Every structure is written in C-alpha cells, then in structure tokens.
Amino acid sequence: MKEKQNPNYVCVHAGQLKDEVYGGATAPIYTSTAYDYRGEGTNLYPRYFNTPNQVALGKKMAALEHTEAGMIFGSGMAAISAVFMAFLKTGDHIILQRALYGGTAHFAAAEFKNLGIEYTMIEHVDQESLSLSLKPNTKMVYIETPSNPLLEITDMALVSAFAKANSLTTAIDNTFASPINQTPADFGIDIILHSATKYLGGHSDICAGTVSCSQEHIESIWKTAKNYGGSLSDQTVWLLERSIKTLALRVKRQSKNAKKIAVSLEKNPNIKKVNYPGLKSHPQHQLAKKQMNAYGGMMSFELKNHIDQTAFLERLEVIFPALSLAGVESTILAPTTTSHSLLTPKEREEQGISDGLLRFSVGIEESSILIADLENAMEKSHKKK
C-alpha cells in the first residue's frame, strides 16, 4: 500500500504497540523494571533497550528513517556518544564536519584525546577535503545537515560514496531536518541520529535521543550502549511516541512558516544576513532542494549593528528567548552564550558564529504574527546615538 509510506500514516501507525487486553486506541505503558525471565526470547530490562515500549518506538523510528532498526536513548548526546564508542577505539581516526552541534564538538575535544582517538574537523565537506583528511586508521565520517546554527547543507550522497569507497561508516545528526524533511538512509548514510528533545518530542517537555540504522549496526551499538546506561524510562518513551504521531503535521507547518519569515527577514533593512536553505540566496540552496522535502523550521540571522541585540530579545512578545528548539512555540537564542558556549571564541569564529548571530526556531503560530513580532522588536531596539 502506497498509503503506508505516507509520513502521517507512518507517524501514527508504524511500530504501534497494541493494547491486546482492552483494545484501546493508544499504546499501553509498560512501566515495569522487572519481567519474568523464564519465557522464550531475550530477558526484558530497561537498560537493555528491549522493553515493549522501547522496542515499539524503535520500530517507528526505523520506519520514519527508512532503516531496519532503531533505538531510543535518554538524550541526544547519549545516542551520539554511544555511536562514537561503538565504532571507534584507541588508535582510530574520525572525520568530523566542523559545523556541528556544540555538544558534539565539545565531546570530541574533551573525550577523544583521553581515549586515544584522533579526529580531523573539516570546514567544507567536499571530495577534496575528505580525501585530504583520510588516514589509514580512519573509521568514520560524521556530519550534520542542515548544520547548527548556520544551516549549512552537506552533500549526503557525496559523503556516502566517499565512505563506501574507503570502507568507512557514516553517521549524521538529522535533528534540524527531522525525518519528515530528510531521510539520509536514502542517500546511503549508515547511521541516523536525533536529539528527540527537538522535533520528535516537539513540545519542549521531553529529553531523549534516537539512533536508526541497519540491524547489524544496531547490534554493535547495543553492545556498547547497555554498558553506559543511557536508556529512557518507558513512561517517557510512551510520551515521545505520542508526540511523534503529530510530527508530520507540526514540521510541515513549521517549514511553511519559516520559508515565509525568511523571505520577509531577508528584505528587512535591519537584518544583515539570513541563513535559511529555502532562500535562493543560500549558497547550497540547490543541494538542499535536491535532498530535502522541505527546508525546515530552523533559521539564523544577524541584526545590523544599529539594533541592540539584548533589547531586541527583551522586546519580543510572542517569540520566546529559550534554550533548545523545535517546539510548537517559536523560540530564539544567541548561540555564543548557549548552544555553542562550550566552544572557544576562536573556534566559534572559525565556524562563522558571530556574537550577533541569533538562532530562530519557528513554531506553529501564524507566520504573520511572528513577522509582526520580529519587526516590532527591531523597531523598538535601535541603539541611541
């Protein structure tokens, strides 16, 4: 059935845990941490990622990401670190895209040296930079597209082809796009990660992470992950599954809003620059058009110098200055003091993250209301001469 490939259908029905006792329309919650071990199959235990709710949601994520299997973690970083630790060991080398989530970049800087793992960060992910970074001990290429916070687009098919030609594993942080706007497995990427705290949860009330990949890779990740204890409670798993049912509806609205707002901001005389892959002015617009279904609800922009950034944030009435992103409500933050604060000023400068940059997560409110809020805050935030 073609209908079963529809994103809304998959969000609602894939991996649905059936209520076999009462026939309820929603999935039951199995909160037990103790199960009878005498039956057939694997012993059920929350830290083993194999309780009924965990397994069911893993299947839903696999269906959304077009992979064989999925796992649910206690946070995005729990998922990311588990993947790193599963596929890298002392003496190995990994190629990282420089434009990464700050927590991932900080993990590499803080942990890889202690573990004896080498890494190379490349500014622009292309054939030349990948080839120049390749070493005999290289094992993995890790990318993020669209990137946080500059919305840079990386060619997934190119990365996949390079990795396969050199027997490397590929992994991607797909958080900004969500499975609705982008399915990296279709471009040959091996492992797809999400901070489920963001679009998958979608309501700013769940902290979680996911990994989707082949069954073979899942087994490798599981062997490591069970030792680190990064699983998620089944009650929160159930809440996440409930949230994912509306994922396609939310993301489509957020993407539509973001496109309208980005066009409006680009024309605004108070704006220096807008970073949004849906704009024709974006340097990788054509690539984004090729590998994304829509351009997402995330953007970033810089105010011109005559606008006081602090005053601008204070004068917003609808858009909420807050950490995190991708909730139904619109939020905004300054990466230098939040998501990328763990990086040094030099590292931020190398990535093109200026002190004046603002990252904007577009919600489901009416786009006209959000545009008016931005324009009103700018008009009231001119610096005094």
Query: Which residues participate in catalysis according to the annotation?
Result: 47, 101, 173, 198
Q: Which residues of 126-135 are buried (b: 16+ CB within 10 A; e: fewer)?
A: eeebbeebbe
On whether the CB atoms of residues 115 and 90 are closer than 8 A, the answer is yes
Helix (H, G, I), strand (E, B) or coil at 147: coil
- Tell which residue, 50, 61, 80, 83, has the closest CA to residue 15: 61
Residue type (1 letter), 185? A
- Structure-token match 């990740």, residue found: 221
Both tokens assigned to 44: 């059920």
Task: Tell me how far apart the alpha carbons of residues 99 and 91 are, in angstroms, rounded to a whole number.
Answer: 24
Overall residue count recorded for the chain in this entry: 385
Sheet holding 320-321, edge to edge: 271-275, 298-303, 357-361, 331-333, 320-321
Q: Across the strands, what pairs with 192?
A: 172, 212
